[in-house]
Structure 1
Amino acid sequence: MRKVMQILKKIIIFLIIIIIFIQFLRAYIYNRVAPELKKWHEKSSYKEPDYKEFKTVEEYLLAENRFLKDVFSEVEVNSKDNLTRFSKNGILSSLDKDGNNINSSFEMIPENIKGGVLLLHGLTDSPFMMRDIAKIFYENGYYVLGLRYKYHGTYPGELVKVSQKDFEDAAIFGSKMIKEKLKDIKNSEFYMVGFSTGAAATLQYITSSIREDKELPKPEKVFWLSPAMGVSPAAKFGFLDSWVSLIPYFKKFQWLDINPEYDPAKYNSFPKNSGIQVYYLIKKAKINFMKLSKKEKAELPPIYSYTSLVDSTVLDKDLYDIFFKMENSENKLVIFDINRKFEEFFKPNLINLNLRDEALDLDFKFNVSFISNYNTKKDDMVGILNYYQGKFYEEKDTGLKWNESNFSLSHVSIPISPENSIYGKHSILGDLKLKGENNALYLSPNLLYRIRYNEFFEYIEEDIKNTLKKNN
């Protein structure tokens, strides 16, 4: 027995040595091929405003504004011709014409407030990504707060500091601020909207408000956009890279992507830590959800979710699984299909998908709308296949249509209007057409041709408006 234990011990030591060797080899190779780190890949010397220090939104916004100005000064590029978000007065600057940072948190206050809405953006994003959705609620009489997470909207080096708790704290702080805004308004309702990681933060929040902290304001309805209910399981092993990157020579290895920072409202570079923290946030939210009793599940608010059939950022099967387990007949899942005109270019699993068969086989207990030209294969003949209480209701003359050159939506496009000034149909990034020779750019072509706006944003707008009308 002792000999067996000695052999096992040697095998374990050998495997550990192999793992260490592989890690250092990977780090060495990455260090050689990856671009050089810029000053915006470092940590800021300024401390983020702590939500707990503020009793009103106004106090927080003033402190955040000062903070963003200080942080921006650390990495500012003086040349207006430089294609970086950090070029003051440049065409891709994060500052608008009045010198305001578009990445900051924001309020929209209608004259007569019916209720309040908290909007939580995604990982590497900023509140700017939520402005088009925010406008829908604002124009319908709702006070809107688009809140920035810590370490977002500044520069990517800050994401090395982020933790899952930062997402949770943002949801709690924002909800309490909206409760304060609505305290003197009779019959007001509170809603939450989460994009990508923001959806995971809302799931964690609503399950916590039921199971752990019953004093938290409870939303009457929740809206999800490209919800992150599942990410690659590989994210949890990112810590194995983190300890290697502590060695100064391997500093680059803490980054999954090191890219040019040309996007004014979103980071292009991605540190591994941020992926790890989102993985833990989602895991915690799902564990909380699974612990809910049948009675507690009945307390969950109706959830309206909008997602693309193809999404390279999150795992859609996890979203569908959550919806099945919620067992709420008021929930609604909206799926934007691929442009079937291009079926010959798609992978077989996408071509063969038939939602009508899927719905009948799975017997959905919630509402589903499938936005697709499945039957026509034509750009200008996009229909809606609605599944409600076991029956199909098909809408053909919808007025929805594809741009003739677009083959699908994307994860990042769902909350963005075609009229958006940065990502819209006729904007610099929305209409980006870089062309040249293969293998000349370090930047992945995937970033360059990924669609940035939602061709069917009008559907989301009308769907949200109809949902709001039901409460009036």
Structure 2
Amino acid sequence: MMRLPSFLRRLPRRIALLAAALALVLLALRVWDTQRGPPLRPWHLVVPEELRAEAIDAADWPAYLAAEEAAFATVRAEVTGALEPEDRIPANRYFAGSPLHPARFARDWNRSFVLEPAGEPQGAVVLLHGLTDTPFSLRHVGARYAERGWVAIGIRLPAHGTVPAALTDVTWEDWLAATRLAVREARRRLGPERPLHVVGFSNGGALAVKYALDAAEDPRLPRPDRLVLVSPMVGITAFARFAGLAALPALLPRFAKAAWLGILPEFIPFKYNSFPVNGARQSHRLTMALQAQLQRQAAEGRLARLPPMLTFQSVVDFTVSTRAVVAALYERLPAQGSELVLFDINRNAKLGPLLTPATEAALERLLPPAPRHWRATIVTNAGPGQDAVLERSTEGGGTEERVRPLDLAWPREIYSLSHVALPFPVTDGLYGLDPDPAEAYGVQLGALAPRGERGVLAIAPDALLRLSSNPFFPYLLARIEEAIGPAP
């Protein structure tokens, strides 16, 4: 047998040493980067106790609400009631004297809620919010269901609405167990015959699809009749796959800040700004489980058992992968009545060379050629130089495109929607471009146009630049109403 040269025999060992040295360098850079940031505050350190998946599966709705109240009591006692003087400022939502403090409002939308219809429920809807978010994000959709005679159940998923530190000690299995509980409660209130919908926003969209897949396999789970998905988190960035490694230095107490991808001021009443590594890790674990189950059920020919889906997605989305919505979900669906609605960029924004070539071509790259098994709808400019928009739709199995003008238009200053904007009307009191003065949440984030001198704002101006409400929300709501059916 020919003997390998000595340098080739040593090559694997050298590669391993090089990889180890590179890992140490990256670890050192991570430690250095985290130590530069602001210190951890009480809301980054206090972890309220919440029910875990096994306990949630054994609980009913009142038991879940009791555990939720206990978590908020912990926040009141160990965060709000224990703030240092430097944290007692108007820009801190955890300061009881702040105009942003949720307890000051007529309703604290951080908590689970039930919206009852005026009469006998015609149906029920479960509302699943996104990561770092709260039931606040789907309150407008829930209100429309209630107006149409449905009972709307907005559940606060575990580790949300309290303090960002709660996300350091939660798993996606806890979120899915809460989804099962909310569906059980919806079906209990409704009986077995009337329709049940599940609406999911972002991470909640992934939970909605995962629940529907589970229900298709487990006859003990109530099966929803329709899914409505808003910016669903079917796939996320590759960085989240390795997010757990970024937290390794946090195993040493001195480097606890390494457990966080972002440590920011908490100035939004119903959403976290700070983001722990575990949040990204659990979302990645959820999307990997979801995609594996989709692939398996597609291979087994079982996806026809899924309920029809109506999905709203911006063509450009910094948080989730729009391509994954198409390739990992819709391209696997058989003909079962689903529809994907894509909101195009504003092609009359006059940005010229400032738009990246990838953005301009995003729509053309997303959709496979017709015919498709599902209805594809595009909301886009009516024509060159026009702010007005229209709907272009191709039915499942067909190739003919139908065009319908919409009584809506792009605001001239907006070049695209964003991941977070879709479930909020422009009149939303917190996020709207033209907020309703009757809704007071201490600040009007969506109406701010941060132009001025540096160092004036208590927060970074770039936090206010992302579009936070949807000028096409009336269209989104009207399409959901079609799925709800006629008012009683």
Q: Which residue of 2 aligns with 1:92?
A: 100
| Alpha-carbon distance in structure 1 between the residues aligned to 2:375 and 2:486 | 16
SS at match of 1:453: coil
Q: Compare 275-284 and 442-451 and name the one that shifted more.
A: 442-451
TM-superposed CA distance for 1:349, in Å, is: 2.6
Q: Would the alpha carbon gap of residues 80 and 243 (structure 1) be closer, same or farther in structure 2, given more than 3 Å must change?
A: closer
In the alignment, structure 1 segments of 5+ residues that lack a partner are none
Q: Which residue of 2 aligns with 1:246?
A: 251
| Alpha-carbon distance in structure 2 between the residues aligned to 1:437 and 1:68 | 38
Question: One-letter code of the match for 2:41?
Answer: K
SS at match of 1:251: helix
Q: Would the alpha carbon gap of residues 81 and 255 (structure 1) be closer, same or farther in structure 2, given more than 3 Å must change?
A: closer
Where does 1:374-389 land on structure 2 (aligned, <5 Å)?
375-379=383-387, 381-388=388-395, 389=398
Q: Which residue of 2 aligns with 1:447?
A: 463
Deviations 1:431-471 (A, max 9, x none): 12333446888955442111111111100111111122279
Q: Residue 23 in 1 paired to residue 58 in 2?
A: no
Q: Which residue of 1 aligns with 2:482?
A: 466
Q: Would the alpha carbon gap of residues 197 and 366 (structure 1) be closer, same or farther in structure 2, given more than 3 Å must change?
A: same
| Alpha-carbon distance in structure 2 between the residues aligned to 1:40 and 1:170 | 23
TM-superposed CA distance for 1:383, in Å, is: 1.2
Q: Compare 313-322 and 252-261 and name the one that shifted more.
A: 252-261
Residue 39 (structure 2) aligned to one of 36, 39, 45: 36
SS at match of 1:125: coil
Residue 172 (structure 2) aligned to one of 164, 173, 190: 164
TM-superposed CA distance for 1:366, in Å, is: 1.1
Q: Compare 64-73 and 118-127 and name the one that shifted more.
A: 64-73
SS at match of 2:153: strand
Q: Would the alpha carbon gap of residues 97 and 80 (structure 1) be closer, same or farther in structure 2, given more than 3 Å must change?
A: farther
| Alpha-carbon distance in structure 2 between the residues aligned to 1:374 and 1:347 | 22
Q: Compare 387-396 and 219-228 and name the one that shifted more.
A: 387-396
TM-superposed CA distance for 1:399, in Å, is: 1.0
Task: Confirm or deny: 8 A CA contact 2:206 2:232 kept in the other structure.
Answer: yes
TM-superposed CA distance for 1:393, in Å, is: 0.9
Q: Compare 238-247 and 342-351 and name the one that shifted more.
A: 342-351
Q: Compare 242-251 and 282-291 and name the one that shifted more.
A: 242-251
Q: Would the alpha carbon gap of residues 10 and 360 (structure 1) be closer, same or farther in structure 2, given more than 3 Å must change?
A: closer
Q: Which residue of 2 aligns with 1:105?
A: 112
TM-superposed CA distance for 1:116, in Å, is: 1.0
| Alpha-carbon distance in structure 2 between the residues aligned to 1:237 and 1:440 | 36
| Alpha-carbon distance in structure 1 between the residues aligned to 2:462 and 2:277 | 19
| Alpha-carbon distance in structure 2 between the residues aligned to 1:25 and 1:442 | 28
Q: Residue 153 in 1 paired to residue 149 in 2?
A: no
| Alpha-carbon distance in structure 2 between the residues aligned to 1:294 and 1:467 | 28
Q: Would the alpha carbon gap of residues 11 and 309 (structure 1) be closer, same or farther in structure 2, given more than 3 Å must change?
A: closer
Residue 395 (structure 1) aligned to one of 404, 411, 422: 404
Task: Confirm or deny: 8 A CA contact 2:115 2:151 kept in the other structure.
Answer: yes
Question: One-letter code of the match for 2:25?
Answer: F
| Alpha-carbon distance in structure 1 between the residues aligned to 2:359 and 2:160 | 34
| Alpha-carbon distance in structure 1 between the residues aligned to 2:458 and 2:244 | 26
SS at match of 1:460: helix
State the identity as a percent.
Answer: 27
Q: Which residue of 2 aligns with 1:408?
A: 416
Q: Which residue of 2 aligns with 1:434?
A: 450
Q: Which residue of 2 aligns with 1:214?
A: 219
Q: Would the alpha carbon gap of residues 403 and 89 (structure 1) be closer, same or farther in structure 2, given more than 3 Å must change?
A: farther
Question: One-letter code of the match for 1:74?
Answer: E
| Alpha-carbon distance in structure 2 between the residues aligned to 1:445 and 1:364 | 43
Q: Would the alpha carbon gap of residues 454 and 188 (structure 1) be closer, same or farther in structure 2, given more than 3 Å must change?
A: same
TM-superposed CA distance for 1:256, in Å, is: 1.0
Q: Which residue of 2 aligns with 1:417?
A: 425
| Alpha-carbon distance in structure 1 between the residues aligned to 2:201 and 2:274 | 19
Q: Compare 73-82 and 278-287 and name the one that shifted more.
A: 73-82
Q: Which residue of 2 aligns with 1:303?
A: 309
Residue 338 (structure 2) aligned to one of 320, 327, 331: 331
| Alpha-carbon distance in structure 2 between the residues aligned to 1:359 and 1:316 | 10
| Alpha-carbon distance in structure 2 between the residues aligned to 1:146 and 1:51 | 16
Deviations 1:350-406 (A, max 9, x none): 334565x97683533211221111514333x1111112232111112x211122222
Deviations 1:226-246 (A, max 9, x none): 011110122111221222121
| Alpha-carbon distance in structure 1 between the residues aligned to 2:292 and 2:367 | 27
Q: Residue 351 in 1 paired to residue 360 in 2?
A: yes
Q: Would the alpha carbon gap of residues 188 and 197 (structure 1) be closer, same or farther in structure 2, given more than 3 Å must change?
A: same
Q: Would the alpha carbon gap of residues 200 and 97 (structure 1) be closer, same or farther in structure 2, given more than 3 Å must change?
A: closer
Residue 12 (structure 2) aligned to one of 8, 16, 21: 8
TM norm structure 2 = 0.88
Task: Confirm or deny: 8 A CA contact 1:339 1:377 kept in the other structure.
Answer: no
Task: Confirm or deny: 8 A CA contact 2:380 2:390 kept in the other structure.
Answer: yes
Q: Compare 424-433 and 1-10 and name the one that shifted more.
A: 1-10
TM-superposed CA distance for 1:35, in Å, is: 1.7
